[in-house]
Amino acid sequence: MTLPDSESAFDPPFVVVEPAPQTAAFVFNAPHAGDVYPPAFLRSSLLQPAMLRRSEDAFVDRLFAGVVASGAPLMSARFPRAYLDLNREAYELDPRMFEGRLPAFANTRSMRVAGGLGTIPRVVADGHEIYRGRISVEAGLRRIDHLYKPYHRALRGLLDRTLDLFGHVVLIDCHSMPSSSLGRDQAEKADIVLGDRYGTSCAGLLVDLVEAALRNRGYTVIRNKPYAGGFITEHYGAPLAARHALQIEVNRALYMNERSLAPNAGFTRLAGDLLSTFTEVMGQVDADLVPRRIAAE
C-alpha cells in the first residue's frame, strides 16, 4: 500500500506479528499503542509530544508480545490515538475541528464526539486541545481512507481466517488506563478492567476464565466499570455467531512511570503474568467448548 506524503511516516501503518502456525483461536489487538508522531502533526499541535502521548497506550503491544509464541497473532497500530482513533466508528467527526463541510453520513452527534474524542480526536485524554487551528476535511478523510479502513480490513481478515480455522474466534482488545481514571472509592480501584459490553460481546465463560486466571496471579479485577469496551469490542463481538470480543484495560502504574512514560520495574512481571494468563485460557478453550457452553446459557 502506497501512503500519501502526509501519512508516509506510518509506513507501514500497522504491524501484524503472526505465529507459525496459528494454534489458538485468539487474535490480540493493540489499537492505541502507536507512538510515531509525524513532524507535520507535531507542528500543527498546541501540545508538546509528552502531552500528546497521554492518550497513548504506551508499550501495550510489548506487554502482550509473548502471545505470539503461544500461537496467536498480535496486531498493533503505529500511528497514535491522538492522530486517529481506531476504537471509534469510521466517521465520528466533530465539525468544529474542520475547515469545510463534512459528508452527510458523518456521525457528528455521538457522546464521544461531544467529549472531543471522536475518530480524529480534538483533545487528548485529559482534555487539552490538540490543534492550533482547523484541519481540512480532505486531510481528515485521508486519514480514514489510508489508515483507519486498511487497519479494520486487516483486523477483520484475521478474525475471519481464525473463525474459519477453529470454528470460533476470540478477539482480545488490549489497552491501558491511567491510574488517575479510577475512583477514590477502594471498591472502584482495579489493576485490570475487563470489558464485555455488559455481557453482550463475549461469552460469560470466557470472561470468567480470564478473570479467575488474573485473580489467581494476585490482580484486582473488575468488569465494565469504568470501561465496558468501545467500538471494536461492540462491533466485532457477536457471541451467537461464535465471535467473541473482550477488552482488557491494564492500570499503567503497574508497568510504567506515568510522568516520564518509561517502563518501570513492574513491566517484566506484568508481561509474564499476562502471557501465562492467556496461555492458560487459550488452552482451556477448544472448538467445541465455546459453542456448547453458550448454547447451555
Q: Where are the domains of the chain?
A: 5-296
Torsion, CA 77, CA 78, CA 80, CA 86, rounded to 10: -20
Whether the CB-CB separation of 74 and 67 falls below 8 Å is answered with: yes
Q: What pTM does this model have?
A: 0.93
Look up cell 465520528; give the residue. Answer: 92
Whether the CB-CB separation of 77 and 86 falls below 8 Å is answered with: yes
Please tell me the CATH code under which domain 5-296 is placed: 3.40.630.40
Give the integer Cα–Cα distance in Å for 32 and 20. 25
pLDDT single digits (tens) 42-59: 999 999 999 999 999 999
The dihedral through the CA atoms of 102, 108, 114, 116 has a sign that is: negative
Regions of the chain where pLDDT drops below 50: 186-187, 287-289, 291-297
The residue type found at 99 is E
pLDDT single digits (tens) 222-275: 999 999 999 999 999 999 999 999 999 999 999 999 999 999 999 999 999 999
